[in-house]
Amino acid sequence: MRLLIMGPQGVGKGTQAERLCAHYSITHIATGDIFRANIKGGTQLGKQAQAYINKGQLVPDELTNKLVEDRLGQKDVEDGWILDGYPRNAGQVAALDEMLGRLGTPLDAVVALEADRDILLERMAKRAQIEGRSDDNPETIKARLAVYEKETKPLLDTYEKRGLLVRINGVGSIESITDDIIARLDARTK
């Protein structure tokens, strides 16, 4: 199974991705992990990404796309994957379409976790306290949610038109949300 998991920051994408990977025996691919692995490994792509990160800049789409394609071509993802944190904009959707076409691995579904803004703000404030994450301060949280609303949320319409979108209420117990996702995904494959 090849999945995307999408939704705003704080909705539980990482948690649900890990649970789905365990259930379906597939690999969790988070773009942040791809960056870190390439930087730590000293790859050419990692060195290029590090140069942007060191300047406090976002890694450009062209480089991000290359890193993702390299990761999707590795042996451990042959039996399936869930991609978390990519695509984030329309250009990355087009790039992902081309990648998957070259690799001969079409998407099975796009899981969209949804929750009200107030709940997301509350969750991220709590996460900041528990994990001590400096990137979960009120200003940064609001900025990230605004970027999601402007650039990433519109991508859901693209996947809905393709018949790939599975919208999930991201509020409730972790277990009940996972059960809902699995039931909805399994129903699609029958």
- Which residues are known catalytic residues? 13, 88, 127, 133, 144
Question: 28 and 18 in contact (C-beta within 8 Å)?
Answer: yes
The residues that bridge with 83 in the sheet, in sequence order, are 4, 29
SS3 110: strand
Tell me the one-letter amino acid at 69. E
Fill in the amino acid letter for 157. Answer: D
Tell me which DSSP letter residue 12 carries. S
Q: Which residues, at least 6 apart from 149, have a Cβ–Cβ distance to it below 8 Å?
A: 8
DSSP structure string for 147-160: HIIIIITTHHHHHH
Counting every residue written for the chain, the total comes to 190
